[in-house]
């Protein structure tokens, strides 16, 4: 499966690196997409640095099977750019994995109303105000959406995300046959 990861400076280091490495280890391709291609991004704790693979201008949702949105300050920055919001909307029927502040981007894309999900404690109230059913659990799966609250939840988040990739939709390459 081909996974799009949306990322900006200030991402939560472990919420990006741990799932990213797990997706790769499981045999999935992960492309990191930022506002510019080959842009170096830094994690908010300074432990991780990553250079984007593509810019948002170079990609389309139909090229990917799933969307991964790590937390930290990154989702709030991304949702201020309408290109990232529109790209996110293209995953309405595909697997989406959002941890911590990741659901902020989904909220801006009007994709949370009626969904059951979780997020970082300060984001939970905002989600309720936009029509989401919010629960405070380490991981929540609602159809094609997997959400978690914080770095302590990464193992559960990654486990359920990988399950959805295996049991979920067919890949883009299989759909083209």
Catalytic residues, by residue number, are 100
Tokens found for residue 138? 């380490």
Which phi and psi (to 5°) does residue 106 adopt? -65, -40
Compute the distance between CA of residue 71 and CA of residue 48 in angstroms, rounded to an integer.
13
Compute the distance between CA of residue 3 and CA of residue 30 in angstroms, rounded to an integer.
5
Report DSSP state, residue 72: B
Give buried/exposed letters for 10-39 (b at 16+ CB in 10 A, else e). bbbbbbbbbbbebbeeeebebbbbbbebee
């Amino acid at each position: 499966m081909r996974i799009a990861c949306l990322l900006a400076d200030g991402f939560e280091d472990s919420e990006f690196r741990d799932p990213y490495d797990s997706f790769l280890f499981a045999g999935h391709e992960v492309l990191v997409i930022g506002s510019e291609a080959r842009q170096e991004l830094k994690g908010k704790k300074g432990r991780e640095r990553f250079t984007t693979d593509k810019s948002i201008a170079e990609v389309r949702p139909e090229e990917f099977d799933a969307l991964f949105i790590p937390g930290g300050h990154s989702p709030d920055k991304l949702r201020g750019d309408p290109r990232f919001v529109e790209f996110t909307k293209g995953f309405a029927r595909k697997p989406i994995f959002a941890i911590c502040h990741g659901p902020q981007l989904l909220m801006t894309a009007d994709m949370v109303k009626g969904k059951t999900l979780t997020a970082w404690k300060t984001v939970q109230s905002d989600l309720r105000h936009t029509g989401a059913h919010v629960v405070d659990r380490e991981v929540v799966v609602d159809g094609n959406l997997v959400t978690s609250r914080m770095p302590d939840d990464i193992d559960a988040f990654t486990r359920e995300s990988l399950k959805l990739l295996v049991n979920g939709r067919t890949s883009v390459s299989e759909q083209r046959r």
